[in-house]
Amino acid sequence: MIRRCYNSQFDYAKCYRALMLNSKIQCGTFQVWNLTSLPPTFFLSLRHPRKIIDPEQMFIALSCREQRASIRFKTTLMNTLMDVLRHRPGWVEVKDEGEWDFYWCDVSWLRENFDHTYMDEHVRISHFRNHYELTRKNYMVKNLKRFRKQLEREAGKLEAAKCDFFPKTFEMPCEYHLFVEEFRKNPGITWIMKPDTRSSDDQKDDIPVENYVAQRYIENPYLIGGRKFDLRVYVLVMSYIPLRAWLYRDGFARFSNTRFTLNSIDDQYVHLTNVAVQKTSPDYHPKKGCKWMLQRFRQYLASKHGPEVVETLFRDIDNIFVKSLQSVQKVIISDKHCFELYGYDILIDQDLKPWLLEVNASPSLTASSQEDYELKTCLLEDTLHVVDMEGRLTGREKRVGGFDLMWNDGPVSREEGVPDLSGMGNFVTNTHLGM
C-alpha cells in the first residue's frame, strides 16, 4: 500500500485508481506497477515511512503480502451469492479446508468455529460473533426495552418514545405470568406466537423449538388491493464501535396472495407474507410473484397521500434502523474482521406507522423471479464494494453503489459540507430508501 504526500494539485483517489489500472507485472515476491502515466508527485511507503519514492523512477515495488494478486473466498450458499462471488474479478473460490480471505458463512459455522479460528488482519467474515442480540426476537425486544429505559432516564420521555416501534412482546415460558396478566386486561386482542430463534426466511421445520415469543398482532395493517404486506429492507453494518451503517436504496414489499381478514386467523396465506409460505399457495403465480420494488411502493404511497406524508413515513423507518442498532451497540462484539448484512422486516399500519417485526441475520439470497435476482445480485455486488477487500475506497464515501452511509458514529448529512449533527433545522439524513 502507498500513501500520497500532501499535494493540493492532485487527488489521491484518482492517483490510486490510476495505479490500479496501470500494467501489473508479477516478479518473484514483488508486484511492479508501471507509473508512467501518473503526474509528478511523491509517495511514502507505509512499511518504510521515512522512504520517499519518486515516480520518475518509473515503478514502485510492493510486497505481495500488501497487494494480493487474488482474493480467496469461501461460502456454502448456492444461490445468487455464489454467482456474484464467482464472477467477481480477481476472486478465487476455495474448497474444503483451504485458506480463505473472505468467508460468507452461515450462523451455525460461526457458532461452532469462530472462537477457534485465527484470522489475519485482512480477513473478513459475514457475521458478528453474537449477532443474535439483534436477530433473535426475544433478545431484540429485551435490548430495545433496556435501551428505551436508558433513553428515558438520560434524554427524557420524548426521546424514549422514538423506540415505540415494536409490538408488545413477551418471552415464553419465562414471562408467561406477565403475558396472562396482559391478556386478561385486554381480552379482545389478537396475539401471535413465534419461535424466538427462527426467522421468516428460515423454514426448517425439523428444528425443535423450545422458546417462543407472544407478540401483539397488528390488527390494522395498511392494505394494498385488500392484501397485507411487509417491507424487506437491507442494512449493512461494518462496525459497531464506532457504529458505521449503510442503508440500501432498493428493497421490496412482500404481499400475501389472499385478501386480508381477521375472520380466518389460522389462514397462513392471509397473514404471512414471506415468499416461502406464499409460493405454496394454490393462487401463487411464479412469474408475477408477490413482490413490489420499493420504488414502486413509494410512488404508490405518494400518489395516495402526498410526498410530505411519505417523507415522514420513511424518516420514521430510518429511525427504526438507527435505534435498533444503537440498542445493541454496547453488547455486540465489534470485531474488525466482521460485517453483517441485515434484512429488516417492517410492517406499516393504517395510520402509516411503521412497526419492526424482526431482523434477519441471514436474509434470503435465493431469487424468486428475474427482477428479484437482479436486485439481490446488485445488492451483493454493492455489499462487496463496501466491504472493499481490494482496498479501493478512501473511507470518505457517502455512497457506494446502492448503499448510502446512514450513520458514521453519528448521523450523516445528505448535503456536502453540512456537519453531521442532528437537531439542525436544515439537516437531512443521508438516506434514499425507495428513491
157 HSE (CA, 13 A, CB side): 0
- Give pLDDT tens digits along the chain (435 positions): 333 333 334 343 444 344 444 433 333 333 333 333 334 333 333 333 333 334 433 333 333 334 456 999 999 888 899 999 999 999 999 987 889 999 999 988 888 888 888 899 999 999 999 999 999 999 999 999 999 999 999 999 999 999 999 999 999 989 999 999 999 998 888 998 888 775 545 444 444 557 899 999 999 999 999 989 999 999 999 999 999 999 999 999 998 888 888 887 776 766 777 766 766 666 766 656 688 999 999 999 999 999 999 999 999 999 999 999 999 999 999 999 999 999 999 999 999 999 999 999 999 998 888 889 999 999 999 999 999 999 999 999 999 999 999 999 999 998 875 554 545 456 788 999 999
pTM above 0.85, yes or no: no
| DSSP category for residue 349 | B
Q: How far apart are CA 331 and CA 343, in angstroms?
A: 20
How far separated are the first and last CA of the chain, in Å rounded?
A: 37
Cα torsion 17, 19, 21, 25: sign: negative
The strand pair at 24-27 and 2-4 is best described as: unpaired
Q: How far apart are CA 237 and CA 90, in angstroms?
A: 24
Q: How far apart are CA 331 and CA 144, in angstroms?
A: 12
Cα torsion 389, 390, 391, 394: sign: negative
Ramachandran quadrant class, 395 (left: phi over 0; alpha: psi -120 to 50; beta: rest): left
Cross-strand pairs, 429: 413
Q: How far apart are CA 296 and CA 23, in angstroms?
A: 44
Tell me the chain's radius of gyration from C-alpha atoms. Answer: 24
